[in-house]
Structure 1
Amino acid sequence: MLYHLDFHVEYPDEMSQPELFKIWAEEADAALTAKQAGVVVDLWKCVGVRRVIAIVDVPTPDLLDQILLDLPIMQKLGQSVQVHVTPLRKYEDFANDVKARLDRK
């Protein structure tokens, strides 16, 4: 099942930018490893903001929740990270469904 993940990353005032970058570097390694494994379909960093968008392919929402809890950025900075999750449906499947509904009428 495909999911759209929208990460918004903040960091506490007492944390320096180099400290944030250290955590983010660990997260980048994990994300790129997951991409090579096929779990992450693709991901993007939004320009000028601390925002990352990812499309992931996992079989269940339970597994996705477990993966999110294990991410380095969530373990070390979870209180400052908001993740919006949207389940996705392939457009081809939707289009076929719509066409089939028309044929039934």
Structure 2
Amino acid sequence: MLYHLDFRVEYPTGMSQPELFKIWAEEAEAALAAKKAGIVIDLWKCVGKRRVIVIVDVPDPDTLDQILLDLPIMKQHGQHVQVEVTSLRRYEDFAADVKSRMVSDLE
């Protein structure tokens, strides 16, 4: 199953930039390892924002939830991270579905 993840990382009062960067460096290492393993399809950092967009391929929502809970940024900074999750459907599958519905409606 494909999911679109939209991470928004807050920068709390009292945290130094080097402290945030230390956590983010650990997270980046984990994210790039997941990309190499094929779990992360691709990911992007939004310019000028503490926002990261990720497309992942996992077998089910339980696995995704487990992965999210184990991320370095969630373990160390989770109370300051918001993740919006959207389940995705491959467009080719959607197009085939629409096409098959048109054929059955014409009969």
Query: TM-score band, normalised by the shorter chain?
Result: over 0.9
2:80 aligned with 1:88: no
Equivalent residue letter for 2:40: V
State the match for 1:12 in structure 2.
12
Identity of aligned residues (%): 76
* Distance in structure 2 (CA, Å) of the matches to 1:82 and 1:29: 20
Measured after TM superposition, the shift of residue 11 of structure 1 is: 2.2
Measured after TM superposition, the shift of residue 30 of structure 1 is: 0.2
Measured after TM superposition, the shift of residue 6 of structure 1 is: 0.3
- Structure 1 spans left out of the alignment, 5+ residues: none
RMSD: 0.4
* Distance in structure 2 (CA, Å) of the matches to 1:100 and 1:73: 44
State the match for 1:25 in structure 2.
25
Measured after TM superposition, the shift of residue 12 of structure 1 is: 1.5
TM-score (norm 1): 0.99
Following superposition, which runs of at least 4 residues in structure 1 exceed 3 angstroms of deviation? Answer: none
State the match for 1:51 in structure 2.
51
Q: Contact 1:11 / 1:77 at 8 angstroms: preserved in 2?
A: no
Moved more, 8-17 or 52-61: 8-17
Task: Tell me the matched-pair count.
Answer: 105
* Distance in structure 2 (CA, Å) of the matches to 1:83 and 1:27: 14
**Counterparts of residues 57-96 of structure 1 (less than 5 Å):** 57-96=57-96
Any idea what SS the aligned residue of 2:78 has? helix
Equivalent residue letter for 1:55: I
TM-score (norm 2): 0.97
* Distance in structure 1 (CA, Å) of the matches to 2:49 and 2:104: 48
Higher Cα Rg: structure 1 or 2?
Answer: 2
Equivalent residue letter for 1:68: L
